[in-house]
Structure formats: structure tokens, C-alpha cells
């Protein structure tokens, strides 16, 4: 993945949202297999900006969010 991309608007909006939020239209689910437990965490890549998201699906509710793994510092 590209490091320190500049998120597009859709990714910037999704960042930090609850995991129950649906992925935006430019996100594609990465191939499963490299994640030990695909039900606990899904990884997505944005076709527009190259942003990589982790959608956390287990654990305490405040941690079940969309995390951007390669967002640049603001
Ligand atoms: Zn994006």
C-alpha cells in the first residue's frame, strides 16, 4: 500500500465513523486470507485515493470504527 496518502473527501468522511457505517462506493474489500480473523476486521482499499481502511467489527463499541491506516498527518 502507498504510505501517507491524502484521503479523498469520501475517505475523510468515513474515517472514525462507526463500523456499522457502510463503505463508500470507491472502497473495495481486500482479499481475505492475510487477516487471521476476517470476521473481526475487514480491510478496504479506496480506488480513488489509495487509502486503506480497517473496519473493526469486534471489541468494545467505541473501538468498532473505521480506521484509516495510511492517512497523512494533518
Ligand atoms: Zn479515498
Asked if pLDDT for residue 66 goes beyond 90, the answer is yes
Helices and strands in the chain: count of H runs, count of E runs: 1, 4
Tell me if 20 is assigned to some domain: yes
For residue 26, what pLDDT is reported?
Answer: 97
23-27, 57-61, 62-66, range with the lowest pLDDT: 57-61
Query: How many domains does the chain divide into?
Result: 1
Question: For the segment 2-41, what is each residue's pLDDT rounded down to a tens digit?
Answer: 568 899 999 999 999 999 999 999 999 986 545 566 578 8
What average pLDDT score do residues 48-63 get? 92
Cα–ligand 1 centroid distance for 17 (angstroms): 14
Q: What is the pLDDT of residue 36?
A: 62
Q: Is the dihedral of CA 41, 53, 74, 16 positive or negative?
A: negative
Q: Is residue 4 part of a domain?
A: no
Domain contains 55? yes
Query: Would 53 be classed as within a structural domain?
Result: yes
What's the 26 CA to ligand 1 centre distance in angstroms? 7
DSSP structure string for 46-65: ETTT--EEEEE-SSSGGG-B
Question: Is residue 3 domain-resident?
Answer: no
User: Cα Rg for the chain, rounded, in angstroms?
Assistant: 12
Which residues form the domain of 20? Answer: 9-68
Going from the Cα of 59 to the center of ligand 1, the distance in angstroms, rounded, reads 26
Residue 30 lies in a domain: yes
Q: Is residue 2 part of a domain?
A: no
Domain-embedded: residue 52? yes
Amino acid at each position: 500500500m502507498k504510505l501517507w496518502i491524502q484521503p479523498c473527501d469520501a475517505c475523510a468522511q468515513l474515517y472514525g465513523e462507526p463500523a456499522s457505517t457502510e463503505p463508500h462506493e470507491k472502497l473495495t474489500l481486500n482479499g481475505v486470507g492475510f487477516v487471521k480473523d476476517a470476521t473481526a476486521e475487514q480491510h478496504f482499499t479506496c480506488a480513488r485515493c489509495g487509502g486503506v481502511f480497517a473496519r473493526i467489527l469486534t471489541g468494545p463499541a467505541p473501538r468498532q470504527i473505521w480506521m484509516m491506516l495510511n492517512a497523512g498527518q494533518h
